[in-house]
Amino acid sequence: MFAEERKELIIKILQEKKRVTNKELNETLGVSGTTIRTYLSELEEQGQLVRTHGGAILIEDTIMAEDTIVSRKDKNKTEKTQIAKLARNMISQGDTVLLDSGTTCLELARELRNIEDITVITNDLRIALEIQKNPSIQAIFLGGTIRNNYECTIGSAVINALQNYSVDKVFLSANALSMSKGATTPHIENALVKEAIMKSGNNKILLCDSSKIGKRTLCSFAKLTDFNFIISDRMISDKDRKEIEDKGVKVLI
């Protein structure tokens, strides 16, 4: 096992237990106490944990920076595909759905290749180009100011247009999902568009891979309890799933 894999395992242990001792890590990882202390120091410098006397505790809701589209493109690809397939099963013939911008929603758009007689509304350029390949889909693109390097539209034109729509289901993405702060995104104008998307849908479904849970970014756009469903992957911890479902939100994996 490489050093980075060991550090990832330390974080997974902390996500489950919230605190861990050096002795527990020694036994689990099979490395020296000096190596454990080095790993903990490096993870503390990255803001992922706080070292304590003889161990470490997890920093709840780690604040994340915004990844670029390029860096997100192949990140957690398997999990996103799994989530998209589950989301596809929620869409029926005749539905009007709204797809938020983001790589997981793009995977969902790709799952709609063979569906018939639905309407899809989106503010994501890549999603619009994907869904227009299917002549059985009525595609509506929400024009506005294009956010450079993120391939989506933002601003008052998008928000005003969304006020004219009431759809069956909205599928949203988030950069992070915090139990206390809800669904978040780093960019305020993105957050405002997502808030407007939330208001447009009868059923609100968040597509969120497990790596984003227990973290947060700058701007909240929805409380956890605002969603009817959260679709995640099989790596979601039992603790996180239970905590979400205890709030009355169904988790699908």
SS3 136: coil
Give 40-99 pLDDT, tens digit per residue. Answer: 998 888 767 888 889 998 766 555 656 655 556 667 889 999 999 999 999 999 999 999
Give 191-206 pLDDT, tens digit per residue. Answer: 999 999 999 999 999 9
How far apart are alpha carbons 49 and 46 in whole angstroms?
8
Give 3-41 pLDDT, tens digit per residue. Answer: 888 988 998 898 788 889 999 999 999 999 999 999 999
pTM of the complete model: 0.75
Radius of gyration for the alpha carbons in the chain, expressed in angstroms and rounded: 20
Q: Where do we find the tokens 């939330």? A: 198
How far apart are alpha carbons 224 and 215 in whole angstroms?
13
Q: Which residue has the higher pLDDT, 19 or 248?
A: 248
The length of the chain, given as a count of residues: 253
The average confidence (pLDDT) of the chain is: 91
